Amino acid sequence: MTDTLTTASEDTAPPSPRQRSAARMADAAGGRLRWLIFKIALLAIVDAVAVFAVFVLFLHNEWLVLALVAAVTILVNWIYFSRKQIPAKYLTPGILLLIVFQIFTLVYTGYIGFTNYGTGHNGSKDQAVASLMRSSLVRVEDSPTFDVTVVERVGELGLLVTDPTDGDVSLGTNLQPLEPVDDVTMEGGKAVAVDGWTTLQFADVLSRSNDIEALAVPYSDDPNDGAIRTQDGQKGYLYVSTLEYDAAAGTMTDTTTGTVYTDNGEGAFVSAEGEELLPGWQVFVGFENFVKAVTDASIRGPLLSVTAWTFVFAAVSVASTFFLGLLLALVFNHKGMRFKNTYRIMLILPYAFPAFLGALVWAGMMNESFGFINQVLLGGAEIPWLTDPWLAKVSVLLVNLWLGFPYMFLVCMGALQGIPDEVNEAGVMDGANPWQIFRRIKLPLLLVTVTPLLIASFAFNFNNFNLIYMLTGGGPRMEDTAIRVGHTDILISMVYKVAFTGENRDYGLASAFTILIFIVVALISIVSFRKTKALEELN
Amino acid sequence: MTEVRLSHSDQTVAENATDTATAYEPTKRRRSFGRWFADTGWRHVVAIVVSIFAIFPLLYVLSASLNPQGTLTGSNQLFSAIGIDSYVRILTDPQIPYPMWFLNTILVATITGFVMVFIGALAAYAFSRMRFAGRRVGLITIVVVQMFPQLLAVVAIFLMMSAIGDWFPAIGLNTLSGLILIYLGGALGVNTYLMYGFFNTIPKELDEAAKIDGAGHARIFFTIILRLVAPILAVVGLLSFIGIVNEYVIASVMLIDPEKQTLVVGLTKLVSNPRYADWSAFSAGAVMAAIPVVVVFLLLQKYIVGGLTAGATKG
């Protein structure tokens, strides 16, 4: 440090103290002030967004998130106004995004893996009770007619209700039961506006009639008291659910049939006959998803075969692309060859072409009955490229070879050019033939350079979702399995299918699979880091 | 290094000389065809065979896009009919909001690419130039977290974004801004690691000289460092751009309305049943989507190759 400082100041004549202070003043007058204004403006925007967020979260009673947002905002302000936290100024944006969208989601995935989250188990128990009761609302005969006004605040609709018997005015939303309000504007005995809320005009009421019909404002904290609903935004009626909720006993009773549904402890109300009320709610189920994945034969079988295929797919893909790329690099590593650049451009085109389009185009060409390969190249043969379990695997590997070899070709070209010619000459001097020079000298030197890239390529292919999903869709489908999974599915596409396709979305099981993949990826990473010593080189 | 380069160029010159010498004596050349083939001829055979493998699907999709007929079978006669009907069809069909897909993709990929590079460069500057507690741990964390790709956490991302959407519809599910934010979660990652390596090659004396002249850390970063590292920024930006154009999983889960979707989501749905798909309209869409990417790639290929091998020798 000191060495460089002295040399630097020797090279450029050291400015005199007067020059230095003059420069500093000029800076302060020009650049610094502009920077300061710019910085304050940026922070003002951040703070404005944060205040808005706090306000919205306050309305939704999300205290934990609110506290986090407030704390982060204060921290950010402190960092950027402080004179000392220079590294933090550069790292904060990236770290915040990393924590929210990567680290938090990883932790959250871990949590979901231990729940029954999925179709029919989306929310909390209160939400499930509210939703069940809401779905079975019937209008109470002879109930009074309430005067109502539809009001809105930050995109949320509410009902301003005037009680016909005593003239009391109260306000509530879908989530917030009716509560008395002050500061209302009355018009002919009916409340028409309230401070802090916007009254919807007649035209708005018409255009948002669907939202308004979905409004069911709970009459009180007790869901059994029913809810106020309106059809036209003018008159409201009391609706009561045919289900009756007993919070103490944890039971739901259907008042029309008399059936009692009890909480089964697994996130649903179940009748004595085993009939389940849906939606249920989300509960912590411990290792149930993992146990199911390991013990249920109709899940374990596919899981094992998918895992094996994932490894085969990733390994063969890396090997095939590397060897074709290396072969081509060796072929081109010859000085007298003509048209080298033309060939090179043609060979790297598949790499430049967006990969998902490549996979979709190949899927079309490999179509069993109409595709180019069967129809034209093979004269009408109906070869099931994508629908036979084994051929589909071959097709996947072939298409991935097409997608991947240009990258390896480029990398190997670069690495070969990095090997000095002296190595070759020395080999020739010692009487080695070209194959020996390649096998014993060049290949080991090359591998030193490309091994980290081969590991990265393996990791990439291990999760090469696009290719599988767009070429075969994971198909052909396996038979006798409890989950939707096909013969060419790799782990990540299986997770996607379990979570997002089909009638039953099982987020809990999908996340449990994800955790298993995490463990595998972590093991591979540790081993490869040990091997390449990549982390030790960080200084 | 210089010695190597010298001998290298000497050799090329010598070989060029022999090449021209043989070119003037055709009889000699014909006689040695066998030797020519053993030396370079077979290389052309390999190159041609692999080139056909490489460009054939691309020619096929180009031909299908120019075919006015719609089906997969109709696309099998290469360049039998030429017209731009399918281009017109995919751009104007009210059922297929292709122009919106295109716009959304460009928007998401450009914004994400730029911001990602900027945030990554900020972090790389701090890691490369400053010494602070937790620096090594921070670098290791970045590399390790990147080992777990974001798409693995797609379920959690979906559930989190649907919760956020209840509070802030502007960045929740079904918004491009939310999608961009998710992608930016990966701004500190391999890219930062790559940039960090490149930043380290810029001599520190430059910063120190500027510091003596009275420049603050921000001014050094914006006016000196960012200009010197421009090549790596371009490479990282382009690779991020291409990566985001190709990203399917998160985009397909996040974007629900057809006119909110990106090309990769829209086009995949379009041909999800190849039997009934309008194959030539899809091909036209694919060609239009690919041409900008391919052109930029070919223009910048030297830098990209440099970036890949730089990563290779450092990684």
Question: Closest Cα partner for B67 from B56, B59, B57, B77?
Answer: B77
Encode pLDDT of B263-286 as tens digits: 999 999 888 876 677 888 899 999
Tokens for B118, please give them.
């900027």
Q: What is the largest CA-CA distance in chain A?
A: 110
Chain A residues 498-527 within an 8 A CB cutoff of chain B:
499-500, 507, 510-511, 514, 517-518, 521-522, 525
Q: Give the span between the Cα atoms of A230 and A160, in whole angstroms.
A: 11
Per-residue pLDDT tens over the stretch A373-392: 888 888 878 889 898 999 99
pLDDT band at A23, cuts 50/70/90? Answer: low
- Mean pLDDT computed over every residue of chain B: 82
- Checking if the pLDDT of A488 tops 90, the result is yes
Q: Test A361 with B61 for CB contact under 8 angstroms.
A: yes
| Cβ B281 vs Cβ B90: under 8 Å | yes
Find out whether B287 and B65 touch, Cβ atoms under 8 Å: yes
- pLDDT score, position A231: 81
Nearest CA in chain B to A19: B213
**Nearest-Cα residue of chain A relative to residue B274:** A364
Residue in B208, B213, B294 closest to A4 by CB: B208
A341 at B interface, C-beta within 8 A: no
Q: Which of A115-124, A304-313, A413-422, B81-90 has the highest mean pLDDT?
A: A304-313
Distance (Å) from the alpha carbon of B94 to chain A's nearest alpha carbon:
22
pLDDT at residue number A405: 94
Output the six-digit token pair for A159: 């009902």
First and final CA of chain B: distance in angstroms? 21
Q: pLDDT tens-digit profile of B161-204?
A: 988 988 888 898 899 999 999 999 988 887 888 888 888 888 88
Instruction: Tell me: pLDDT of B309 over 80.
Output: no
Average pLDDT over residues A290-313: 90
Q: Name every chain A residue with its beta carbon within 8 A of the beta carbon of B283.
A: 361
3-class secondary structure, B188: coil
* CA distance linking residue A108 with residue A287, whole number of Å: 16
The values of phi and psi at residue B197, to 5°, are: -60, -40
DSSP class of A241:
E
Residue A522: band (very low, low, confident or very high) from pLDDT cuts 50, 70, 90: confident
Report A:98-127 residues touching B (Cβ under 8 A). 98, 100-106, 108-109, 112, 117
- pLDDT of residue B6 exceeding 70, the answer is no
Interface test with A, best of B155, B253, B305 (most A CBs within 10 A): B155
Is the CB of A332 less than 8 angstroms away from the CB of B43? yes
Q: Check whether A323 has a pLDDT greater than 60.
A: yes
pLDDT at A461: 92
pLDDT, chain A, mean: 84
Burial label, A65 (beta-carbon count in 10 A; 0-12, 13-18, 19+): middle
B152/A7 CB distance under 8 A: no
β-bridge partners, A149 = A160
Among the residue ranges A12-16, A53-57, A437-441, B109-113, the one predicted with the least confidence is A12-16
pLDDT of residue A14: 61
- Residue partners of B94: CB distance under 8 A and separation at least 6: none
Q: Which of B47, B151, B248 sits opposite A331 (nearest CB)?
A: B47
- State the average pLDDT over residues A51-71: 91
Test B212 with A8 for CB contact under 8 angstroms: yes
With beta carbons under 8 A apart, name residues in chain B contacting A62: 167
- Whether residues A12 and B209 touch (CB distance < 8 A) is answered with yes
Q: How far apart are CA A463 and CA A317, in angstroms?
A: 12
- Quickly list DSSP for A421-440: HHHHHHHHHTT--HHHIIII
Residue B15, pLDDT above cutoff 70:
no
Q: Which residues does chain B have within 8 Å of residue A381's beta carbon, measured at their own beta carbons? A: none
Mean pLDDT along residues B209-234 = 86
Residues B51, A343: C-beta atoms closer than 8 Å: yes
Cis omega (within 30 of 0) for bond into A476: yes
State how far residue A478 is from chain B, nearest Cα, in angstroms.
19
Looking at residue A384, the DSSP 8-state letter turns out to be: -
Beta carbons of A347 and B209 less than 8 Å apart: no
Q: Give yes or no for a cis peptide into A279 (omega within 30° of 0).
A: yes
CB under 8 Å to A433, separation ≥6 — which residues? none
